[in-house]
Amino acid sequence: MKLTKKLLLGGALATLLSSPFAVSTVSAADQIYLAGLVYRTGPYAPNGTPFANGFKDYVELINQRDGGVNGVPVVYEECETGYNTKVGVECYEKIKGNNPAIIVPNSTGITYQLIPKVVQDKIPLVTMGYGRTSGAVGSVFPWYFNFPTTYWSQATAIIRYIGAQEGGMDKLKGKKIAHVYHNSAYGKEANPTLEVLAEKFGYDLTLLAVDHPGQEQKATWLQIRKKRPDWVFMSGWGIMNSTAIKEAAAIGFPMDHFIGNWWSGSENDVLPAGDLADGYKSATFHASGAETPLHKDIKKHVYDKGLGAGDADRIYEVLYIRGLLNHIFALEAVRRAQDHFGVKVPSGEQTRHALENMHMTAADWNRIGLPGFPEIKVTCDDHEGGHPVLIQEWDASAKTWSVISDWIPVMKDVVRPMMEADAAKYAAENNITPRDCG
Amino acid sequence: MIYRETGQFKPTYRSDSAVFPIPQDRWVVVAFVILLTIVPSFFASEYLLQAILVPILIYSIAAIGLNLLTGYCGQLSLGTGGFMAVGAVACYKFSTALPELNILIVLLLSGLVTAGVGLIFGVPSLRIKGFYLAVATLAAQFFLNWLFNKVAWFQNYTPSGTLTMPPREFFGVLVTGAAAQPHHRYLFCLGVVVILALAATNIVRGPVGRAWMAIRDMDIAAELIGFRPFQTKLLAFSVSSFYVGVAGALALALWLGSVETAEAFDINQSFQVLFMIIIGGLGSMLGSFIGAAFIVVTPIVLTNLMVYGFGLEAVTAKHFEFIFFGGLIIFFLIVEPHGIARLWQIAKEKLRLWPFPH
């Protein structure tokens, strides 16, 4: 008995000693490797889970339906961050040796840490609609991509929308707009743009910070009740959003004058508020809720085979679609790199080249299965693309988001000089010589 | 047998009051430092250096700092995260404002700034004790993070408020910024840790440390026999904050590279460092290192073991990690309430008698 016990103990010890520091090793010879820094735990797990499911299901779809990208299978691995930047960095160090095609950090905080690192490791960093806005300046940030659009561009589209609702941009003069934001790198991003636009259009801007996680907002909404702004714009995340909607309803703020950014406009944000959320608006860069050819394929090739990561009826949700979009961009870049360089597994430099020359037309979107998505064009100097923005409205009885605006163009003339100024400052602080983009 | 002091005579006061009076201890420590200098820099992977060893070293400094205050002087503090944030912000401001400044001087200045801030927040310790003092230091935690988030000057007016450490050289070798070689960062960190740990050991075994321990053990008695509580406690606060500040600066400069102060140095950070010294051992230098290593390594080992060893899903592994990690902490505290360092002390006692226990 003693011997078996010792053997067992020895075996357990041997495993303990051998595997813990084993860096993830996936053979990369003829497979494309993708790793998702996802968060299915922690304070933001309700939002992170549909996102992560979208990541996983799209890779599964490509593998099941097409046998991979151009026939090269994709290996996908999750690393759980819990939305914690320190864990995120540990994850990155663990996976980077496997030659990941692209890194999707899935958090603004982790993005900031990875921006200098990916330059050294030569891995493209793609943050779809989050992260460092000035990273769009490709001459300073060659390895960083934040298309289809950024926080700053989004803010200009929202102001344009508010202007249209008021009956013209000149009518904005003297109007009061409040920005309720998550008191973090993410939430603050839109502030400088809103300030510049306030000067330009003459509206009165109030900035109201809400501390993480955002369950306590009584003081914020008391201030809104006092100031009586005409419009409230919100950059929230997680529990902060539903709390804000409830608080807004409590002070009787009209829901149709309350607009969230695209991270404040998912089902998770409005459902907890019930009927109170009816008429709440938010920005988005894609439609949701509809049965697209892509959804049909996902059902057929992934969920009907029992390979789905989540629930089959939740694949129409906003954040799930955003998860899909992330990997659509990633694998589309890989496909283009394969075609352009004639290789099976493109290197980081090759994928970067493909991202930088990404031009997704209506025909591409039809092929992918999301018809109606606008064109995206990335260039050497412009890693954002300046994609237009939609406004959607929540219908609490039908429990659906419906798009209520046309594609609203962003004010590139306003945000681009600001991005360039910020990028130039970054370049100066970090001894970077901007490359020539011609 | 192995660890016998018989026959080791100490003919001078000097040899009697050496840092490591027993030669075995001295050799082991020296050998260990040499081992740590040589082995990882040649054999460790980038992952091991960057994700495990460097964080352990940095947290060791923070744990030593808090141990000086809580373990040696008996003043409970929950402001560690806030003081680390001061160190990080000071490091960022000094290195961006004065690019020519040597990184070592930047670290020193960051520590001094933090010491000053710690001094201010240490003032309430004269009037309040125990849990009440913990609450007062909690105020430091929240106030400092609020301040750095609110005042854009601290972040050089970047739109997102994120501090990014510029690349800096240490006598021609790049140690900060993404381009720095991981083993250069590691060796630099190790150097700082060795210097600071030696300094701390010498502080606590000298008159200052004895004054702290007198205050810790019974402050009224200490006052009656002539220790001045005000100066003693404030000194503990500022020395402790110096260490914690250097740890914060190193966390920004050598480990994370880019930091959002309110997120990276939040209240959980304060608790984490406090758990390090409780699990490692209050009032023990060795305990600070063991505690830091335990808290940094255990979750990573558990996750990696479950994901790559047993093939669990990443999220399931994370949930199990929470359960096991919590369980391990409880287990260690039940088995050895004085921290893991105490286990080492018991082992030493046993080795002294081995193999004849009577």
- Are B254 and B176 spatial neighbours (Cβ–Cβ below 8 Å)? yes
- Are A45 and A39 spatial neighbours (Cβ–Cβ below 8 Å)? yes
In chain A, pLDDT over 70 holds for what percent of residues?
A: 93
Q: Dihedral sign for Cα B128, B132, B137, B142, please.
A: negative
- Determine, for residues A21 and B309 on separate chains, whether the beta-carbon distance falls below 8 Å: no
Q: How confident is the model at residue A21 (pLDDT cuts 50, 70, 90)?
A: low
Q: Could you tell me how many CB contacts below 8 A there are between chain A and chain B?
A: 136
In the predicted model, what is the mean pLDDT of residues A251-263? 94
Q: Is B135 inside a domain boundary?
A: yes
Residue of B nearest to A182 (CA): B160
Q: Is B132 inside a domain boundary?
A: yes
Residues B27-44 pLDDT 10s: 888 999 999 998 888 888
- Determine, for residues B45 and A23 on separate chains, whether the beta-carbon distance falls below 8 Å: yes
- Determine, for residues B158 and A422 on separate chains, whether the beta-carbon distance falls below 8 Å: yes
Return all residues near A342 (Cβ < 8 A) that are at least 6 apart.
Answer: none
Using CA atoms, how far residue B1 sits from A81, B8, B28, B348, B349, in Å, is: 48, 13, 16, 11, 11
Q: Is pLDDT at A15 greater than 60 in this prediction?
A: no
**Total structural domains within chain B:** 1
CB burial of residue A132 (10 Å; 0-12, 13-18, 19+): buried
Longest distance between any two alpha carbons in chain A, whole Å: 87
Q: Is pLDDT at A28 greater than 60 in this prediction?
A: no
- Are A257 and A230 spatial neighbours (Cβ–Cβ below 8 Å)? yes
Q: Is pLDDT at A136 greater than 90 in this prediction?
A: yes
In chain A, pLDDT over 90 holds for what percent of residues?
A: 78
- Determine, for residues A85 and B304 on separate chains, whether the beta-carbon distance falls below 8 Å: no
Long-range contacts of the stretch B207-211 (C-beta < 8 A, 24+): B208/B235, B209/B72
Q: Is pLDDT at A1 greater than 50 in this prediction?
A: no
User: Given A16, A22, A85, which is nearest B263 (Cβ)?
Assistant: A85
| Confidence (pLDDT) at B195 | 96
Chain B partners within 8 Å of A426 (Cβ): 164
Residues A324-340 pLDDT 10s: 999 999 999 999 999 99
| Confidence (pLDDT) at A26 | 57
**Mean pLDDT (chain B, rounded):** 91
Q: Is pLDDT at B313 greater than 90 in this prediction?
A: no
Interface of A with B in 44-63 (CB under 8 A): 52
Residue A369 or residue B354, greater confidence:
A369
User: Given B48, B160, B178, which is nearest A189 (Cβ)?
Assistant: B160
CB burial of residue B278 (10 Å; 0-12, 13-18, 19+): buried
In the predicted model, what is the mean pLDDT of residues A397-418? 93
| Confidence (pLDDT) at B314 | 87
Q: Amino acid identity of B51? A: A
- Determine, for residues A112 and B317 on separate chains, whether the beta-carbon distance falls below 8 Å: no
The phi and psi torsions of A39 (rounded to 5 degrees) equal -135, 105
Residues B182-236 pLDDT 10s: 999 999 999 999 999 999 999 999 999 999 999 999 989 999 999 999 999 999 9
CB burial of residue B27 (10 Å; 0-12, 13-18, 19+): exposed
Question: In terms of residues, how long is chain B?
Answer: 358
| Confidence (pLDDT) at A123 | 95
- Which residues on adjacent β-strands are paired with residue A234? A180, A260
- Are B169 and B161 spatial neighbours (Cβ–Cβ below 8 Å)? no
Distance to chain B for A121, nearest Cα, Å? 9
Residues B129-145 pLDDT 10s: 888 999 999 999 999 99
| Confidence (pLDDT) at A390 | 92
Neighbour count for residue A186 (Cβ, 10 Å):
25
Alpha carbons within 13 angstroms on the beta-carbon side of residue A258 total 28
Where do the DSSP E strands lie in B186-345?
258-259
Lowest mean pLDDT across A107-111, A152-156, B269-273: A107-111
Interface of B with A in 212-251 (CB under 8 A): none
Residue of A nearest to B163 (CA): A112
Lowest mean pLDDT across A73-82, A139-148, B14-23, B250-259: B14-23
Q: Amino acid identity of B24? A: Q
Rounded Cα–Cα distance for residues A141 and A384 (Å): 11
User: Given A22, A119, A186, which is nearest B308 (Cβ)?
Assistant: A22
| Confidence (pLDDT) at A7 | 52
- What are the structural domains, with CATH classification, of chain A? 30-149+290-385 (3.40.50.2300), 153-284+388-416 (3.40.50.2300)
| Confidence (pLDDT) at B126 | 84
The phi and psi torsions of A210 (rounded to 5 degrees) equal -120, 125
Question: In terms of residues, how long is chain A?
Answer: 438
Q: Is B144 inside a domain boundary?
A: yes
Rounded Cα–Cα distance for residues A181 and A208 (Å): 6
Q: How confident is the model at residue A10 (pLDDT cuts 50, 70, 90)?
A: low
Q: Is B319 inside a domain boundary?
A: no
Provide the residue range defining the domain that includes B185: 22-266
Name which of B90, B94, B142 is nearest B116 in CA terms.
B90
Distance to chain A for B118, nearest Cα, Å? 24
Lowest mean pLDDT across A220-224, A328-332, B11-15, B55-59: B11-15
